[in-house]
Amino acid sequence: MSDALFWHRLHFGFTVTYHYLFPQLTMGLSLLILIFKWRAFRKGSALHDEAARFWARIFGVAFAMGVVTGIPLEFQFGTNWSRFSQFAGGVIGQTLAMEGMFAFFLESTFLGIFLYGEKRFGPRMHLASAAALWAGAWLSGYFIIATNAFMQNPVGHAIGPDGRLQLADFWAFVLNPWAIWQYLHNMTASVVTASFVVAGVGALWSLSGRHPEHARLALRTGVVSGLIASCLLVFPTGDRHGKLLAEKQPATLAAMEGLFETRPDAELAIIGQPNVHERRLENPIVVPGMLSFLVYGSFGSTVTGLDRIPEDQWPDNIELLYYAYHVMAGLGTLFIGLLALAAFQLWRGRLERSRPVLWALMLAIPFPYIATSAGWMTAELGRQPWLVYGLMRTADGTSPRVSVGNTLFTLLGFAGLYLVMGILFLYLVGREVAHGPGAPHAQVLPAGAQRPAEEAA
Amino acid sequence: MEALWFAIVAGMLAVYVVLDGFDFGAGFLHLLVARTDAERRSVLAAIGPVWDGNEVWLIAGGGALFMAFPVAYAVGFSGFYLPLMLLLWVLILRGLSIELRSHVSDPLWAAFWDATFALGSTLIAIVLGAALGNVLRGVPLDSSGTFHVSLFDSFWPSARSGVLDAYTVLVGVFTLLALGGHGGLYLAIKTDERVHTRSLRAARLLWVCAGALFPLVTWATTRVAPELPATAAHRPLVWILVVLLVASASALVLGLVRGNPALGFAGSAGTLFTLLGTGAAARWPVLLRSNLAPSLSLDAFAAATTHHGLRVALSWTLVGLPLACGYFVFLARAFRGKVRLETPAHAAEHGSPRDTGP
């Protein structure tokens, strides 16, 4: 109970993981909505327009949840991690401030136009606002990932005479190679999440025999975009990310893979439990040489194991890191399998009659969320014991004047509030899905249903 | 360079107060000026498309503070730990109330979110004012360069005062009255008929109360921060801002007397902005005033990042800030004019509830 560091970490870990449940849907969905809008605009298809409107209603709820759970995170840098903010603020403050200036203003402006202005501004403007919304959402993703990438692989900085970090090379910092691959990996994952949600809802409608045309469109869109994005997740984005890990964070790679021993011909563990105490993998099922091949392109290459790394630089929770990574990678592989099967049935024109595949698609909705959360746990647990890799340890970044009790109290407060919000979200989205596309059921009009006086006359 | 960034950060936060201020004010008046469901929907429709963008000024201003003065951000935010967390929870509930109310057509659902919206907005307006009070009064910043402040301790301002004391509560109440008047004028512009009349009446009453309280607030500020008037008197910028403040306040009074909400709103926006600007200009270069000893205060030079970092940030701010202002003008023009609700029957013919009228 008295371990301040633990509670600060759980505090941030919980609020950021919960927050990210919403942006991963809205970032991916903004792209799919843009595709629907584009098809509707080009072909004049009422079906695509109706689909865009339906997903915009889901988008609106998820976006609101994402905004309100996102604000605390910026505050928490100062409230819970004040020594980190003092140390690194001169560098990461740049990207955090740019996110507000370049992404959030764009996003919030065109959200208003997109949600409230279809009739008022016409189809061309509505399509443009969907595009601007997508651009804003994906831009904000880049700025926040560039911030995280600096913590993973600090570049473009110098250490000042006062011991604080300062900006030395802006472009090196913003175009950190880590940021670019992590960003592409993360954004394709957000498309996977949104695709599974769209395909899963399509499967639900198809299984229950409702909205057949919309079910078909949702299945087709979700399965195709999901399959493309799932493949991109593995190659090139995941592959390149792994190679960067081997280069910049060998301790992280060794711990993720449960590689205790440095060796050529390093094996890839498919299943197994790390026993850190005895420094071995229990009940392993492995592919010999595969890890060497994946990292260096040849089966004989030597991969650094944990034995070559001083113990005080090991990630502090190797077991959790190992499981998180294996959950992410395992689920990613299953996604490709399921979506390839669904795509095959789609190609044969039999997807809507393949009830087992439809059931699997419908029940798969939670799993991309689990995979992305596990992926971020891999990144963040893998970075330990560093807060800024090689420069500041996590234990040195907390706020010295914030008591453990206050941290725990506010953590519980967030947990309670977020539970209620989760219930609200599922209730509202469940209602929309149950009602389906077409005319909305709410008799009460939303906040923006308005028109100017001069036009009303 | 530090002075320029002090001005940019203060300016962005002042713009935040002016913009989000009118929707907090609208929330404070929500249950009072709008009685029926249609009237309440018109209040929400008036702020619906803009409130999220307004709140981005807080995020962007906070980001700029973090970038330019990381030490102040770190010391200030960790020192105000509990009040900031409570503020965050209220901000979350209020944001949800605006967005979720329209999703279910049930009178109980609407009534719940209406009350959450009004209560949340009112509390935030008071807390923003109290936060300003804390910045003006100072905090127990000690020789370790950090501080911790309780929620309330000694009620009369002293080195032992918590976040809430007589002075900060006074500033909080003043802020509520002023933002209420500000929001009333905004609603008077955007609505018609009864909501318009009631909002204008409320704006008059609240601004009269705020005006009556202003001398007391000014006097109390010179008591808790006695060095302010002396430093302020030597600064030309302060005098320029005071002149602009008087001009804005005159426009506000004229707008209220003539029943011209557009003039009044411009005046009240100018009044709020110049009032905050005057405070910031008088306070330069101190970011966090220590109420233990003046020498322990944290100033902009000690809190800032390097000149190189500030210069780089200035170059992208010169692109980003005009863009942000451009979006704002575009959005305001796009949704100009009075809010007019469609009847449900009318809306049913038009498909999506998000669509506006023909």
Residue-wise pLDDT tens digits, B41-71:
889 988 888 888 888 899 999 999 999 999 9
CA distance B352 to chain A (A): 6
Distances in whole angstroms, Cα of residue A452 to Cα of each of A273, B207, B262, B294, B357: 64, 28, 16, 54, 8
Q: B261-283 and B193-224 are packed helices; what angle lies between their axes, rounded to 10 degrees?
A: 20
- Dist CA B183 CA A103 (whole Å): 27
Instruction: Report whether pLDDT(B157) > 50.
Output: yes
Q: Which residue has the higher pLDDT, B296 or A366?
A: A366
Point out which residues pair with A286 in neighbouring strands. Answer: A269
Residue-wise pLDDT tens digits, B259-312:
888 899 999 999 999 999 998 988 888 888 888 888 888 888 888 888 899 999
Instruction: Report whether pLDDT(A450) > 60.
Output: no
- Dist CA B121 CA B282 (whole Å): 29
pLDDT band at B14 (very low <50, low <70, confident <90, very high): very high
- Dist CA A375 CA A385 (whole Å): 18
DSSP assignment letter at B290? B
Dihedral of CA atoms A23, A24, A30, A33 in degrees, nearest 10, equals: -130
Token readout for A246 is 């081997």
Query: B312–A72: do the CB atoms touch at under 8 Å?
Result: no
- Dist CA B131 CA B110 (whole Å): 31
Is B280 in contact with B2 (CB distance < 8 Å)?
no
Query: B339–A450: do the CB atoms touch at under 8 Å?
Result: yes
Distances in whole angstroms, Cα of residue A291 to Cα of each of A309, A379, B222: 18, 18, 69
Residue B156 — φ and ψ, nearest 5°?
Answer: -85, 135
Query: A108–B328: do the CB atoms touch at under 8 Å?
Result: no
Residue B355's pLDDT is 36
Q: Which among A53, A105, A111 has CB closest to B352?
A: A53
Q: Which residue has the higher pLDDT, A108 or A20?
A: A20
Whose tokens are 């009269």? That residue is B208
Query: A82–B75: do the CB atoms touch at under 8 Å?
Result: yes
Nearest to B237 by CA among B298, B267, B280: B280
Task: Identify residue B72 by its one-letter amino acid code.
Answer: A
* Mean pLDDT across chain A: 90
Task: Identify residue B269 by its one-letter amino acid code.
Answer: A
- Dist CA A193 CA A215 (whole Å): 18
Q: What is the ipTM of this complex?
A: 0.87
Q: Which residues contact B330 (CB under 8 A, 6 or more apart)?
A: A109
DSSP assignment letter at A301? -
Is A424 in contact with B312 (CB distance < 8 Å)?
no
- Dist CA A187 CA A162 (whole Å): 37
DSSP A222-285: HHHHHHHHHHHIIIIIIHHHHHHHHHH-HHHHHHHHT--S-EESPPEEEEEEEETTTTEEEEEE
Residue A255's pLDDT is 92
Residue A120 — φ and ψ, nearest 5°?
Answer: -70, -40
Residue B341's pLDDT is 67
Question: Mean of the pLDDT values across residues A41-61?
Answer: 91
Instruction: Report whether pLDDT(B353) > 50.
Output: no
* Mean pLDDT across chain B: 87
Rounded to the nearest angstrom, the gap between the alpha carbon of residue A162 and the centroid of all alpha carbons in its chain is 36
In total, the C-beta contacts within 8 angstroms joining chain A to chain B are 328
Residue-wise pLDDT tens digits, A381-392:
999 999 999 999
- Dist CA B82 CA B78 (whole Å): 9
Question: Would you call A325 exposed, middle or buried from its count of C-beta atoms within 10 A (0-12, 13-18, 19+)?
Answer: buried
Q: Across A239-325, where does the E strand assignment appear?
A: 263-264, 268-275, 280-287, 302-303
Point out which residues pair with A167 in neighbouring strands. Answer: A157
Q: Choose from A71, A108, A157, A412 for mutation: most chain B CBs within 10 A.
A: A108
Query: B102–A445: do the CB atoms touch at under 8 Å?
Result: yes
HEC states along B208-226?
HHHHHHHHHHHHHHHHHCC
Nearest to B44 by CA among A133, A421, A450: A450
Contact A112/B at CB under 8 A: yes
Residue A263's pLDDT is 86
CA distance A104 to chain B (A): 6
Query: B103–A109: do the CB atoms touch at under 8 Å?
Result: no
Question: Would you call A94 exposed, middle or buried from its count of C-beta atoms within 10 A (0-12, 13-18, 19+)?
Answer: buried
Instruction: Report whether pLDDT(B342) > 90.
Output: no
Query: B70–A118: do the CB atoms touch at under 8 Å?
Result: no
Token readout for A383 is 């970075």
Query: B71–A89: do the CB atoms touch at under 8 Å?
Result: yes
Q: Is B164 left (phi over 0), alpha (psi -120 to 50) or beta?
A: beta
- Dist CA B332 CA B325 (whole Å): 10
Residue B159, helix vs strand vs coil: coil
Residue-wise pLDDT tens digits, A5-44:
999 999 999 999 999 999 999 999 999 999 999 999 998 8
Instruction: Report whether pLDDT(A454) > 50.
Output: no
Kindly report the CA angle at A151 between A145 and A157, in degrees rounded to 5?
105
Contact A240/B at CB under 8 A: no
Question: Mean of the pLDDT values across residues A394-409?
Answer: 92
Residue of A nearest to B82 (CA): A406
- Dist CA A45 CA A449 (whole Å): 24
Question: Mean of the pLDDT values across residues A416-440?
Answer: 91
Nearest to B313 by CA among B46, B19, B69, B34: B69
Question: Mean of the pLDDT values across residues B162-176?
Answer: 91
Residue-wise pLDDT tens digits, A64-86:
899 999 999 999 999 999 999 99
Q: Which residues contact B119 (CB under 8 A, 6 or more apart)?
A: none
Is B193 in contact with B106 (CB distance < 8 Å)?
no
Is B135 in contact with B51 (CB distance < 8 Å)?
no
DSSP assignment letter at B139? B
Question: Mean of the pLDDT values across residues B132-158?
Answer: 85
Strand pairing of A280-287 and A263-264? unpaired
Contact A385/B at CB under 8 A: no
- Dist CA B127 CA B72 (whole Å): 20
Token readout for A241 is 């990310």
Residue A420 — φ and ψ, nearest 5°?
Answer: -60, -40
Across A145-159, B119-133, B226-240, B261-275, least confident range: B226-240
Q: Choose from A18, A79, A91, A121 for mutation: most chain B CBs within 10 A.
A: A79
Nearest to B205 by CA among B14, B33, B40, B338: B33
Q: Which residues contact A183 (CB under 8 A, 6 or more apart)?
A: A141, A142, A145, A146, A149
- Dist CA B298 CA B61 (whole Å): 19
Instruction: Report whether pLDDT(B345) > 60.
Output: no
Residue A1's pLDDT is 59
Residue of B nearest to A125 (CA): B334
Query: B327–A105: do the CB atoms touch at under 8 Å?
Result: yes
Q: Which residue has the higher pLDDT, B204 or B154?
A: B204
Query: A116–B354: do the CB atoms touch at under 8 Å?
Result: yes
CA distance A95 to chain B (A): 8
Question: Would you call B274 exposed, middle or buried from its count of C-beta atoms within 10 A (0-12, 13-18, 19+)?
Answer: buried
Task: Identify residue A396 by its one-letter amino acid code.
Answer: D
Residue-wise pLDDT tens digits, A111-163:
888 887 787 888 888 999 999 999 999 999 999 999 999 999 999 999 999 89
Q: Which among B60, B73, B144 has CB closest to A100?
A: B60
pLDDT band at B358 (very low <50, low <70, confident <90, very high): very low
Residue-wise pLDDT tens digits, A285-333:
989 888 888 888 888 888 999 999 999 999 999 999 999 999 999 999 9
- Dist CA B300 CA A316 (whole Å): 38
- Quote the percentage of chain B above a pLDDT of 70: 95
pTM recorded for the entire structure:
0.90
Is A388 in contact with A249 (CB distance < 8 Å)?
no
Q: Which among B60, B73, B192 has CB closest to A104?
A: B60
- Dist CA A424 CA A64 (whole Å): 12
pLDDT band at A397 (very low <50, low <70, confident <90, very high): very high
- Dist CA B150 CA B160 (whole Å): 9
**Contacts with B, A 123-182, CB within 8 Å:** 160, 164, 166-168, 170
DSSP assignment letter at A247? H
